[in-house]
Chains A and B, each alone.
Chain A
Amino acid sequence: MPSFESDDYQELIGDQLVTLGKKKRDMLQEGPIELTIDGSKVKFPRVKTIYDPDGRAIPEGWTTIYDAVQQHYVVERNEKNPIPILCHREHMTPVAVCRVCMVNAKTQRGSKLTPACRRRIEPGMEVQTSRTNPDAILPTVKTIVELLLSDYHPPRGENLAFGESGENELETIARDLGIVQSKNRFPRGTPNRPRDDSSLLISVDHNACILCDRCIRGCNDIRKNFVLGRMGKGYNARIAFDLDEPMGGSSCVTCGECMVSCPTGALSGRAVVGDSFPPEVLTSARAVDPEELASHPMFQGISQPFLRWNRKAVVRRTFKKGEVICREGEYGSSAFIMEEGRFEVRIKSPLKSVAKQQSGIFSLFSRFAVGFGEKPGDVPAEGGDKFIPVDAPVALAHGRPVAIMEPKDILFGEMTCMNHYPRSATITAMEDCTVLEILRNVLYMLQRNEVSKKTLDAVYRERTLDNYLRVAPLFSVLTQDTKEFAKFVAEIRPCVKLIRVHPGQVIFRQGDQADHFYLVRSGFVKVSQNRQGGDRVMNYLGPGSYFGEIGLLSRLAATVGTIGSGLRTATCSALDHVDLVRLPGDKFLELLGLHPSLQSRLIEVAKERLRRDEEQWSKIRNESLGNFLSQGLENAGNMLVLDLERCTRCDECTKACADSHNGVTRLIREGLRFDRFLIATSCRSCLDPVCLVGCPTAAIQRTESGDINIKDSCIGCGKCAENCPYGNINMVAVPSGEKAPDPYNADRMLAVVEYKATTCDKCNGVETPSCVFACPHEAASRVDGKELLEWVRQLNAAGKTK
């Protein structure tokens, strides 16, 4: 709606209505203005009005030329409005930045071209649109559109929904005006602006942005979120979130208004594409209507557009007594909101979970290797653990690993959903049960939405924290005395803060002043140290682990000179979506003072950790482990290595790979070397597959054999390719089977291609992948990191390494 002058008196009623000062209110009393539109004499009120529930007139804004023309043609004559608009919409404040809505306005002061969306009507004004005076208006409008097109590059990921009408408004206007991009008089700029894919729900392609400001007005004027704005000047001008934060890291609540407002698809939804649930789920489930979801307590405050885009991402499933909802060890992409019934949580083999407590440089390897069939150790690494952490708000006792969940526990399966880890337990319906199964997009939204986040955090604080502390090995010394443990939980509950950390985000850096103590709720934290010789990953900490204690313990009198200096001894960062429980340092030390057994246990473990770190560094100095680790080989589950003493560089492996994949190779015979082995650029099936994090459609998944598989539902966003630290995922243009007009030559049709992520699929289930099968010189092998290290060690021992 058009705004008034700055001296107008405005008053907010609720969050929407505006009243005016006396001067403007008086205008309501004025008679209508008479003007001419394309030769027809018409009358319109000077001010647009709306009416409140009591029937009182409230001025909405000045009547503009566009409003008058709209009324004249569309409302009264049921014809098409001859004025094109791009940066303007009727529910928005006009800013006239695009100037596409030019008309010729003749007043007593003379005749001139003026933007219809912003210019107010005046008595006696003669308005000529392109219908009656095309020679004066159309050349100018065409020039403007050509200039806009020269700065615009169509967004990638064209299959995503955007805009009010779902079509590209700029291209539509250009088409209506008969503008062909190939005949554009102005050269097209280089698409060198960044793309922001940090949000799981909305992607921002600045190359497609024409700075119409509709998203900014949608965010600030309509939604009152005040997140979006402009930054930079001239060619560097672009929209920005908060103080130019990545969208995913900003205070954006992902309401979707900006995306709905965008006329070019620069802001586009990363909606769930097609049926992302497996077929067996869809046969037994019913998709939940967005309207129904909007009334669900957990979905309060989530925007309707979001729920509509993700209508296939929430299904209601009912389970009969004894039916399994999810099974331990399976991979999945969904979480469950409990609605009715009771649920049994059980694990088959408690020792698997105990093995998770193992630490050291191969802890992550061991964590997954256990899942792949290795025998777990018999003895828990940090002895005395009585409970097993699972991806649910309950704790499982070692002796009897069974627990019961109820709807008031709200949610389970978050870790599998967000981080693509295997299900940690089997959940069975104890009676007839109903759940809402949700995909990652929706869970991500629930974790960000104010209402649901508050509910989840409250439940966690009241019910789950108790279980969690019980599970954490650190506190096992307290659980022996029920009263002491209850007292401890009551002390800690009001002090903790639940925080969420994005993948890659640093929690604290080595050398920082120690100020908090952390417990890992879900996800993995990477602990790394920097010393002479570079960075080294010291450990990965999973759910139930804790960190940050060493810097704090050094403040205790009992540890002076033995544990650190009050500074952080390592850098801790999130490997994936990590949820943490944070306790202030002072409170932590106070609690230790109240529980001496806990204090002595912590000091003991801290000393052990420091000793182990030193041991690792000396190992790294003495062995080739440093290079092994620096190349991330410890993380490789199945990689292609070429023995360069055997390889004759015949490229049969690459050709075989191309032959097996429609002529597009998924390996490159190039990469870093470890000893005499070349680690080819091909998927390593990492034990810690960071490529899985962030896929908006869960198209990239890990199979039961540990291989990485990309499904056809890939939308080509390239997130996995960005995430892969080794460059082993490539974006390949695949013909979609459709044809479209060449944007540079309207007479020609071009094949439409869509980008898909590709990576080595180990030739889909054959015993020996083609690359190895086709190598005549016995140079190619597929091994895991441990095996490769063993080979090299044996060669070293035999004195064969050069």
Chain B
Amino acid sequence: MLIRRQELSSHLGWIVLLVAGTVTIAGVYCAYGMGRPRLPGGSSPPGMVFGILGSAIMLFEFFLWPRKKVRTWRIGSAKLWMRAHIWLGFLTVPLIVFHSGFSMGGQLSSVLMVLFGIVIASGLFGLFLQQILPRLMLEHVPAETIYSQIDHVSRQNYWDAEDLVAATSGMVIDASHTLQARPVAEARTSDYIVVGAQRTEGNVRGKVLQTQVPTSTSVPSEALNVLNDSFLGTVGHFLLHGRRCREGAELKSPLAAAAYFDNLRLMLPQSAHETVETLKSLCEQRRQFDLQCRMHGWLHGWLLVHVPLSAALIGLMFVHILVALKYW
């Protein structure tokens, strides 16, 4: 959340600048346009000034992008740049609107106005998403990991689960009993199993390591197939591919997954229930990863519109300046 209601006071300077700027722009515009037959446009003195100011601000707004690429340069903190980006971005709206004289103008200026509108709208949409999604992610994805590492963590979880199932059922892990080949370094060499699982305890939320001692001797042989089949047929696929896989479709919803694992538990002896519980927990983690992917897509997807269109807007803005100067 970038702007909190409780912390508006820290944005007070920017708000004052925005309001005062807007009032001043409107005042100057009205004073100049009073008594004139037409609304002043971009070629009028105030329109010209508004255009220059608006262009300068838009250029500054655009520089946030290269600024982020030179993170170690001490040219104002990113926080300051972002605040300026948001509030000065708002200020460009009255500047450009008054600059245009409430008219779309010719083809070029019409395209510019449309682009400007989309850039402003996409920026507002992004701001809105960044206001709400981090909190939603905090609430609904306690097992969150680094986005780029989701596939890796999922594979690791799969191998952990595979080890656990093998230890419980006596399954031999070879090419026919794995859905994902593991590198040599990842091969299990110890006598105990470490399973990454989600834990929520009080205010502590996140992933912790749990250890599980193999219980292979305690499961009757007829039950082995049930657990193995379930893992290789459904759970394993879901752990690896999440909502994208067809084989684990019944695990996509928490309710359906709960029913699936309840059913599995009924078919297995007591000694295997802990393993089922861990598998259930890993599937829950995978569902959260899927949710994280979706949220991450929303959180950053709007930039795919905002950034290229901003670049186009800046390019066309310069064309507009050249054309205006030529025919002025």
A630-664 interface (Cβ within 8 A of B): 630-631, 644-652, 655-656, 659-660
Of the candidates A671, A778, A792, the one whose C-beta lies within 8 Å of that of B206 is A671
Q: Mark B189-217, 1 if CB is under 8 A from A, else 0.
A: 10000000000011111101000000000
Known: A627-B202, A671-B206, A776-B79. A656 touches B134 (CB 8 A): no
Q: Is the CB of A773 within 8 A of B78?
A: yes
Q: List 15 A-B contacts (CB under 8 A).
A: A624-B202, A644-B134, A645-B135, A647-B134, A648-B130, A648-B134, A652-B68, A659-B71, A659-B72, A660-B72, A673-B205, A674-B203, A676-B138, A776-B68, A802-B139
* B77 sits at the interface (CB 8 A): yes
Which B residues are CB-close (under 8 A) to A675? 203
> What's the nearest-Cβ distance from chain B to residue A766, in Å?
8
| Beta-carbon nearest neighbor of A654 in chain B | B146
Using A673-B204, A774-B78, A802-B138 as known contacts, list a sample of 12 further A-B pairs with CB atoms less than 8 Å apart, ordered by residue number in A.
A627-B201, A645-B134, A645-B138, A647-B134, A649-B147, A655-B71, A656-B71, A669-B146, A670-B145, A774-B68, A776-B79, A792-B203
B147's nearest neighbour on chain A, judged by CB, is: A649
Complex interface bits, A4-44 against B, C-beta within 8 A gives 1, otherwise 0: 00000000000000000000000000000000000000000
B146–A652 touching, CB < 8 Å = no
Question: Across the interface, which residues of A come within 8 angstroms of B82, CB to CB?
Answer: 776-778
- Cα A552 to Cα B81 in complex, Å, equals 65
- Tell me which residues across on chain A come within 8 A of B202, comparing CB atoms: 624, 626-627
Residues of B within 8 A of A671 (CB): 206
Is B204 a contact of A674 with CB atoms below 8 Å?
Answer: yes
Say yes or no for B258: interface residue by CB 8 A criterion: no
Contacts of A648 in B (CB 8 A): 130, 133-134, 299-300
Whether A624 and B137, one on each chain, are in contact in the complex, defined by CB atoms closer than 8 angstroms, is no
Instruction: Tell whether A801 is near chain B: CB-to-CB under 8 Å.
Output: yes
In this complex, which of A624, A648, A669, A675 has the most chain B Cβ atoms within 10 angstroms of its Cβ? Answer: A648
CA distance A660 to B184 in the complex (A): 34
Q: Establish whether residues A631 and B204, one from each chain, have CB atoms under 8 Å apart when the complex forms.
A: yes
- Tell me, yes or no, whether B244 is within 8 Å of chain A by CB: no
Given contacts A192-B189, A627-B203, A652-B71, contact A773 B138 (CB under 8 A): no
Tell me the complex Cα distance, A772–B135, Å. 20
How many residues in A have their beta carbons less than 8 Å from beta carbons of B? Answer: 43
Which A residues from 238 to 286 make CB contacts under 8 A with B?
Answer: none
In the complex, whether B2 has a CB less than 8 A from a CB of chain A is yes
> What are the 9 tightest A-B residue pairs by CB atom distance, in nearest-first order?
A776-B82, A656-B71, A776-B78, A774-B71, A644-B138, A627-B204, A675-B203, A672-B206, A645-B135
Q: How far is the CA of A671 from the CA of B206 in the complex (A)?
A: 7
Is there a chain B Cβ closer than 8 Å to A770's Cβ?
Answer: yes
User: In this complex, what residue of B is CB-closest to A763?
Assistant: B72
Give 1 or 0 for each of B133-157: 1 = CB within 8 Å of chain A CB.
1110111001001110000000000
Report if B1 contacts A (CB, 8 A): yes
Which range contains the number of B residues in contact with the other chain?
Answer: 20 to 34
Cβ of B246 under 8 Å from chain A: no
Bound-state CA distance A718–B82 (Å) is: 40
A653 CB to nearest B CB, Å: 9
- Given contacts A670-B146, A773-B74, are A644 and B203 in contact (CB under 8 A)? no
Chain B contacts with A in 103-143, Cβ cutoff 8 A: 130, 133-135, 137-139, 142
Q: Is A553 an interface residue (CB 8 A)?
A: no
Q: In whole Å, how far is B189's beta carbon from the nearest beta carbon of chain A?
A: 6
- The verdict on B182 contacting chain A, using a C-beta distance below 8 Å, is no
Chain A proximity of B45: nearest CB distance (Å): 37
Determine the residue in chain B with the shortest Cβ distance to A779.
B134
Contact check, A624 vs B203: say whether CB atoms are below 8 A apart: yes
Q: Distance (Å) between the CB of A553 and the closest chain B CB? A: 35
CB contacts (< 8 Å) of B294 on chain A: these are none
Q: Report the separation of the CA atoms of residues A672 and B201 in the bound assembly, to the nearest whole angstrom.
A: 11
Q: Which residues of A contact B72 (CB under 8 A)?
A: 656, 659-660, 770, 774
B296 near A: Cβ within 8 Å?
yes
Does A415 sit within 8 A of B, measured CB to CB? Answer: no
CA distance in complex: A254, B79 (Å) = 55
Closest CB in chain B relative to A730 CB, distance in Å: 16
Q: Does A530 belong to the interface (CB within 8 Å)?
A: no
Say yes or no for A575: interface residue by CB 8 A criterion. Answer: no
Question: How many Å lie between the Cα of A675 and that of B203 in the bound state?
Answer: 5
Name the distance in Å between B259's Cβ and chain A's nearest Cβ: 28
Residue-wise, chain A 756-791 has the 8 Å CB interface mask toward B (1 for contact) of 000000000010101011111111000000000000
> Which residue of A645, A652, A670 contacts B78 across the interface (Cβ within 8 Å)?
A652
Query: Nearest chain A CB to B307's CB is how many angstroms away?
Result: 13
Contact flags B265-303 to A (C-beta < 8 A → 1, else 0): 000000000000000000000000000000010011000
Interface positions, chain B 1-27, Cβ under 8 Å from A, are 1-2
Q: Which residue of B lies closest to A675 (CB)?
A: B203
Cβ distance A661 to chain B, nearest Cβ, rounded Å = 10
B205 to chain A: closest CB distance in Å? 5
* Contact B134 A775, beta carbon cutoff 8 Å: no
- Distance, CA A650 to CA B146, complexed state (A): 10
A670 to B143, CA, bound (A): 11
Q: In the assembled complex, which residues on chain B have CB atoms less than 8 Å from the CB atom of A779? A: 134
Contact of A801 with B2 at beta-carbon distance under 8 Å, contacts A646-B134, A773-B77, A776-B78 already known: no
A645 near B204 with CB under 8 A, answer: no
* Complex contact B81–A776 (CB within 8 A): yes
Q: Report B74-115 residues with CB < 8 Å from chain A CB.
A: 74, 77-79, 81-82
Nearest Cβ in chain B — how far from A276, in angstroms?
31
A646 to B189, alpha carbons, bound, how many Å?
42
Write the chain A residue with the least CB distance to B153. A670
What are the residues of chain A within 8 A of B206 when measuring CB–CB? 671-673
A778 to B137 alpha-carbon distance, docked (Å): 17
Quote the shortest CB–CB distance from B150 to chain A (angstroms): 12
Q: Smallest CB–CB gap between B283 and chain A, Å?
A: 21
- Report Cα–Cα, A777/B133, bound state, in Å: 13
> CA A645 – CA B204 in complex, angstroms?
16
